[in-house]
């Protein structure tokens, strides 16, 4: 968490932990949290984006508030899915769209789904509003007017192109968020993934605008929107300035006379480039690893330990690049100087170097990250010979990238400690939460062996609880 009460250098929790409990512990900001801040600043930093999302939020809430409206939407959605052509051999579920997503300022990935819904479900949503409007008009004129305004938005090219650009920005961020939540992702690979995403957005900014504009035109044609502008046509802004164009004595009237601009250039300058520039600047600012010298050494050491560098380490001659890798590993170990013997670690690195040179065809798969190196050492029993280096690898593997997997366990409390279990003891609650949060490991257990173990050790268990520790 990046809040001051956690990250403060003078009185934050991380400072107190280093002073009183573990002086060599390093504070690492959760890398998944800043994405929410990036998206929030990007959405609020460009005119029209937040308004477009609010329209979809209001439509979704209006439909979900009434079972009758929801049934109308489901019928329109089914008719829309049935009318869509399917490829030969494709299942019906392959072409069916899902229901409208929720809107949340905290769970920003809901906003990604909402933006996709604006493009994928535009037709059934519009048809639903058209049918609901007549029923509502008799009882509530205000709601009917709101629905009419939403229909006008959905039927406007500006809404479509805003959602196309928004999806182009939020989709890669959604994929990055999922990558950072993986348990196999180490800190070095996480920073590399962020750097790759920044390069991707820079490439999109330079080369993909024409393609996105063509996608917006294609969506608008599919939705049956009238008056779809062409890229080269002159942009005609709305409002008093344009209506007073050329009139003498009217402030601002001469602006659009002296600076004609095409429709494509207008949306590029006012929507596409500001959004891409904002997301690139926010990613660089939020994920810059400039917290402390120790953390910088740690990240450099993690990069040096990665299996990508094994091909360099197994070289028999000592190149400058190889020497830099070895020095980075030593500097990382010095961050925990009371836990590692630098002299022994240097000897272990020489043994590891020779082992890689002799067994180059058996080195771990670099795609699996640091965990593959730990698994390789353990399965080959080589960890016995290089215990200091092995412990450094283990420490590198357990360094967290994000805290989302931990925070995801908090909502599990409402399932485990419900009103039927309000009097359970703390140890039982801990055991249930542990099993609920690690269901993937629980499924691998052979329950017959568990029962046999429980039966054979029955006398050693607490007779009151008749439970054993698995």
Q: Could you report the per-residue pLDDT of 397-416, keeping only the tens digit for each? A: 777 666 666 666 677 777 77
pLDDT at 248: 45
pLDDT at 34 over 70: yes
Render pLDDT for 1-23 as a digit per residue (tens, 0 to 9): 566 677 777 777 877 887 887 77
pLDDT at 110 over 70: no
- Confidence grade of residue 44 (pLDDT, cut at 50, 70, 90): confident
What's the whole-number mean pLDDT along residues 272-291? 81
pLDDT at 256: 47
pLDDT at 414: 74
What's the whole-number mean pLDDT along residues 370-386? 82
What's the whole-number mean pLDDT along residues 330-340? 80
pLDDT at 215: 92
- Confidence grade of residue 80 (pLDDT, cut at 50, 70, 90): confident
pLDDT at 93: 40
Percent of the chain at pLDDT above 70?
Answer: 73
pLDDT at 209 over 70: yes
What's the whole-number mean pLDDT along residues 55-67? 86
Give the alpha-carbon dihedral of 451, 452, 454, 456, to 10 degrees.
Answer: 160
pLDDT at 189 over 50: yes
Residue bearing the bigger pLDDT, 118 or 363? 118
Q: Give pTM, 2 decimals.
A: 0.70
pLDDT at 53: 84
């Amino acid at each position: 968490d990046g809040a001051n009460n956690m990250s403060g250098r003078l009185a934050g929790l991380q400072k107190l932990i280093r002073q009183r409990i573990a002086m060599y512990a390093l504070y690492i900001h959760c890398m998944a949290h800043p994405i929410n801040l990036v998206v929030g600043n990007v959405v609020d930093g460009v005119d029209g984006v937040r308004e477009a999302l609010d329209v979809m939020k209001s439509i979704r809430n209006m439909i979900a508030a009434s079972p009758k409206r929801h049934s109308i939407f489901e019928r329109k959605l089914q008719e829309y899915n049935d009318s869509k052509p399917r490829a030969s051999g494709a299942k019906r579920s392959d072409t069916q769209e899902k229901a409208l997503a929720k809107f949340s300022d905290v769970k920003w990935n809901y906003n990604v789904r909402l933006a996709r819904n604006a493009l994928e479900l535009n037709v059934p949503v519009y048809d639903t509003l058209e049918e609901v409007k007549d029923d509502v008009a008799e009882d509530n004129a205000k709601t009917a007017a709101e629905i009419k305004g939403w229909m006008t938005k959905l039927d406007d090219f500006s809404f479509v192109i805003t959602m196309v650009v928004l999806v182009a920005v939020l989709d890669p961020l959604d994929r990055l968020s999922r990558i950072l939540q993986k348990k196999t992702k180490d800190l070095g690979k996480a920073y590399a993934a962020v750097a790759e995403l920044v390069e991707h957005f820079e490439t999109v900014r330079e080369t993909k605008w024409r393609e996105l504009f063509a996608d917006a035109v294609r969506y608008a044609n599919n939705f049956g929107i009238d008056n779809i502008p062409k890229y080269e046509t002159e942009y005609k802004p709305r409002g008093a300035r344009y209506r007073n164009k050329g009139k003498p004595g009217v402030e601002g009237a001469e602006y659009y006379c002296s600076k004609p601009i095409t429709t494509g250039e207008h949306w590029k300058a006012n929507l596409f480039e500001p959004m891409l520039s904002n997301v690139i600047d926010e990613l660089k600012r939020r994920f810059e690893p400039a917290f402390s010298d120790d953390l910088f050494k740690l990240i450099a050491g993690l990069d040096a330990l990665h299996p990508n560098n094994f091909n360099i380490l197994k070289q028999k001659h000592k190149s400058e690049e190889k020497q830099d890798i070895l020095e980075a590993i030593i500097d990382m170990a010095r961050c925990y100087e009371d836990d590692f013997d630098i002299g022994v670690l240097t000897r272990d690195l020489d043994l590891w170097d020779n082992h890689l040179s002799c067994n180059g065809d058996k080195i771990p798969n670099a795609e699996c990250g640091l965990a593959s190196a730990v698994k390789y050492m353990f399965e080959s029993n080589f960890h016995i010979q290089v215990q200091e280096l092995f412990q450094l690898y283990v420490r590198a593997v357990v360094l967290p990238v994000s805290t989302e997997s931990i925070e995801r366990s908090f909502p599990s409390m409402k399932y485990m400690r419900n009103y039927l279990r309000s009097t359970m003891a703390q140890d039982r609650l801990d055991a249930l939460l542990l099993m609920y949060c690690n269901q993937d490991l629980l499924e691998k257990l052979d329950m017959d062996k568990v029962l046999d173990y429980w039966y054979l050790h029955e006398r050693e268990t607490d007779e009151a609880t008749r439970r054993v520790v698995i």
